[in-house]
Amino acid sequence: MSLAAEVVEPRSGERARRLSGTARALGIAGVALLGVVVLAALGASVLAQHPPERIVAAPFLRPSGQHWLGTDDIGRDLFAQLVHGARVSLSVGLGAAVLALGAGTAVALVAGYRGGWWDMVLMRLVDLTLTLPLLVLVLVLTAFLGRGLAVSTVLIASVLWARPARLLRSQVLKVRRFGHVVAAEAMGASALRVSLTHVLARLVPLLSSQLVRAATVAVVVQAGIAFLGLGDPDRVSWGTMLFFANASNAVLTEAWKWWVLPPGLALAALVLGLALAGYAVEEWAEPRLARNAPHRSRRRRRPVEEPRPQAAGTALEIRSLRVRFGGTRPVEAVGGVDLTVRRGRILGLAGESGSGKSTLALAVMGLVPEAGRITEGEIMFGGRDLRRIGRANQARVRGRELALVPQSAMNALNPVRTVLAQVEEAARLTCPPAEARRRAGDLLERVGIDPRRHEAFPHHFSGGMRQRVLIAMALANEPRLIIADEPVTGLDVVNQVVVMELLESLVGELDLDLVVISHELPLLARWADDLAIMYAGRVVERGPVERLVREPQHPYTRLLFSSFPDLEGPRGQVGTVPGEPPDPARLPAGCAFEPRCPCALPRCATERPELDGAEGTCSAACWLAGDVSVRTLFVDPAGVADGDPG
């Protein structure tokens, strides 16, 4: 998953086949253009007063009431040729596209189903056809095999089938792996039957977009061939008109207005209509292509009031921070968070996915995605409020004073640059080039990467090794604070310990402060000094680790602890608390945990409890906090609440 995706789209279901505004507008324009051409083709006999292929007047006539666009070099009516030309283009375009798609589908099904030699031979044929220059190939075929309209259509189709065949084949191979297709085959349905009913149905979107594309190419190729003098001599097309216009040097005279422009524009209208319609069809066929403009938040206004100075002995002080995401479903991902990182102590930030912990980290880094913005609060770091220093200065803080070790180390490195180059690039922000290179090498070595592998690319490294590279990158400019967002998620247990030990030793060695974000509470309980538990965008409990582990006050913290059983404990789903987290777009008025809370009181549904107490002491946002009766009221579904939660 992308680093930012989780916070941008809290819950994205399957996107419906609905067109974006741009695609719809373009599609309508395309259909309108096509409509004009189709009308001209249908009404050609009515619209034109003369037959298009017969000599009806003197050559080279200027436009007149008799001949609206004048006559050509042998005295044929140009207007008649124009409207009848629509028929030629449309029939060749449609005919060739249908033939090509039919052949392409057949090839794709045979290659996809037979596999082996069939696949080999057919795909080499596809390669051959796709490699040869299309227009020249059709030109040669036409020269030898005939230039009649029907022959032309077949010849054009005979070079156009290859692209759809290749695309459809890979689709066939994909569809064949779908559950219901596998099931149908397992139940003994014949390959042909399965192809027709299950596979073809799935190919419809791709087929339709490829049909439009093939028609577009067919129209252009037919016009090109006709322009080169190989059009059907008995059926005047737009390409033929331009061939004669060019041969008669129409551009050198006034005649370009009625001889060159009309057929050229007609061709352009048809091709543009097909292309625009194709754009819409393609988006319909592949909804992932729909890219709405990101919701852009209004210019962020800096707070006017001077903030209270940062408390002594703190590395980072977050005060009542709120982050909102706009759009159709506004979401407050971070809803008033107060959080302090004390100098020399590791803060662990825990919570389920979607609880806002990653958004909080992004907000501190000044990297809230475009769709969101910080609406309130202060981020005190190094004696100033990061929200007030402006975007440019925020960027200067990143990497230099405040570094991030991101989630999903697998993709956080640029695949085409060596790891050394990427660490060096970071170090260059504060070091001269030669120094930066040496420093990058030292850092990579420090995190345990063999110098012989410094010039290797990210794909040569395992996930754990890439995570180390990212840690080296974070250290490149000797930052004061590192935020590690799920630094060991996805690593095996051994690597988890190694990476966490590395982080811990670096904190001691380099006098850094560290925030570790994780959904794994036991991990944090082991490595952190202070803990903060987030739920639905708020910190619901915080305090020194020993206190929190010994006597968690908030029912959510208790459930979270008990969801990670000891080795001897009963087995259950690890790391999950019964029930669903609330919909971030519609948070309850009272305590957000109330719907899932096993010991909720009536007032919990209406009144929201707040955190109280000074930093460094324990505090829980719960009406039952400090109440001894919590323990007796507590109903633990897993039945382990009375055991040692640590």
Partner 1 sequence: MRPGRRRLRAIGQYVVVVAGAVVLNFALPRLAPGSPVDYLVPPQAGTISAEERVELLERYGLDEPLPQQFLTYVGGLVQGDLGVSVRDGRPVADVITERIGWSLLLVGGAVAASAALGTALGFVAAWRRGRAGDVAALIAVLVVDALPAFFVGLLLLLVFSVRLDLFPLYGALPAVGVGGLQLVVEVGRRLVLPLATLTLTGLASIFVVARSALLSELDEDYVFMARAKGLDERAVRGHAQRNALIPISTATFLGFSTLVGAATVVETVFSYPGLGTLAFQSVLSRDYPMLQAVFLVLALVAIAANLVNDLIYPRLDPRVRAS
CB of 365 to partner 1, least distance (A): 6
Instruction: Tell me the closest approach of the beta carbon of residue 519 to partner 1, in angstroms.
Output: 18
Give the residue with the Cβ less far from partner 1, 361 or 640. Answer: 361
Residue 145 in contact with partner 1, rule: CB under 8 A: yes
Radius of gyration for the alpha carbons in the chain, expressed in angstroms and rounded: 35
Interatomic CA distance for residues 253 and 266, integer angstroms = 21
Least separation in angstroms between CB 8 and partner 1: 10
353 binds partner 1 (CB under 8 A): no
- Identify which of residues 263 and 582 has a Cβ nearer to partner 1 in the complex: 263
Closer residue to partner 1 (CB): 357 or 542: 357
Q: How far is the CB of 406 from partner 1 (least distance, A)?
A: 6
Cα–Cα distance, 291 to 20 (Å, whole number): 7
CA distance 230 to 146: 9
Report the DSSP beta bridge partners of residue 376: 322
How far the first Cα of the chain sits from its last, in Å, is 30
Write down the least CB distance from residue 448 to partner 1, Å. 20
Could you give the CA distance from residue 47 to residue 43 in angstroms, rounded to a whole number? 6
Task: Examine residue 517 and tell whether it contacts partner 1 (CB under 8 A).
Answer: no
Residues 6+ apart with CB under 8 A from 459: 415
**Burial annotation 582-614 (CB, 10 A radius, 16+ → b, else e):** bebeebbebbbbbebbebbeeebeeebbebeee
CB atoms within 10 A of CB 447: 21
Beta carbon nearer to partner 1, 458 or 584? 458
Closest distance of CB 265 from partner 1, Å: 8
Q: How far apart are CA 238 and CA 7, in angstroms?
A: 54
Contacting partner 1 (CB under 8 A), which of 73, 119, 425, 478? Answer: 425
CA gap 264, 442 in Å, rounded:
66
- Using CA atoms, how far residue 179 sits from 38, 174, 175, 198, in Å, is 43, 11, 9, 11
Q: Which of 411, 495, 569, 641 binds partner 1 (CB under 8 A)?
A: 411
> Segment 84-143, which members bind partner 1 (CB under 8 A)?
124-125, 127-128, 130-137, 139-141, 143
For partner 1, the closer CB: 126 or 599? 126
Instruction: Give 403's contacts (C-beta < 8 A, 6+ positions apart).
Output: 473, 474, 475, 476, 477, 479, 481, 482, 483
Of 28-87, binders to partner 1 (CB under 8 A) are none
Three-state SS string across 606-621, please? CCCCCCCCCCCCCEEC
Among 398, 437, 454, 468, binds partner 1 (CB under 8 A): 398
Please tell me the number of Cα atoms within 13 Å of 412 on its side-chain side: 24
DSSP label at residue 537: T
How many residues contact partner 1, by CB under 8 A?
82
Minimum distance of partner 1 from residue 628's CB (angstroms): 45
* Residue 429 binds partner 1 (CB under 8 A): yes
Q: What is the C-alpha separation between 161 and 102, in angstroms, rounded?
A: 8
Identified binder of partner 1 from the candidate list 223, 281, 389, 449, rule CB under 8 A: 223
DSSP element (H, E) containing 442:
helix 433-446
Nearer residue to partner 1 within complex by CB, 453 or 608 = 453
Residue 392 near residue 319 (C-beta atoms within 8 A): no
With CB under 8 A as the contact rule, the residue among 95, 348, 399, 537 that binds partner 1 is 399
Examine residue 634 and tell whether it contacts partner 1 (CB under 8 A).
no
Task: Tell whether residue 179 is a contact of partner 1 (CB under 8 A).
Answer: no
Say what the alpha-carbon torsion angle 54, 59, 64, 70 is, to the nearest 10 degrees: 70
- Among positions 433-462, residues that touch partner 1 (CB under 8 A) are 457, 459-460
Q: How far apart are CB 302 and partner 1 at their closest, in Å?
A: 21
Instruction: Enumerate residues 236-295 that contact partner 1 by CB under 8 A.
Output: 242, 245-246, 251-252, 256, 260, 264, 267-269, 271-272, 275-276, 279, 291-294
Contact between 3 and partner 1 per CB under 8 A: yes
Q: Pick the binder of partner 1 from 229, 287, 572, 575 (CB under 8 A).
A: 229
Site residues for partner 1, 11-30, by CB under 8 A, read 22, 26
CA distance 185 to 199: 11
Between residue 464 and residue 503, which ones bind partner 1 under the rule CB under 8 A?
A: 470, 473-474, 476-477
Nearer to partner 1 by Cβ, of 251 and 311: the residue is 251
The upper half-sphere exposure of residue 315, i.e. CA atoms within 13 Å in the direction of its Cβ, equals 20
Segments of 486-537 assigned E as strands: 513-518, 530-535
Binding mask 308-347 for partner 1 (x = CB under 8 A): ----------------------------------------
Distance CA 135, CA 131 (A): 12
Residue from 117, 144, 508, 571 binding partner 1 (CB under 8 A): 144
Q: Smaller CB distance to partner 1: residue 5 or 58?
A: 5
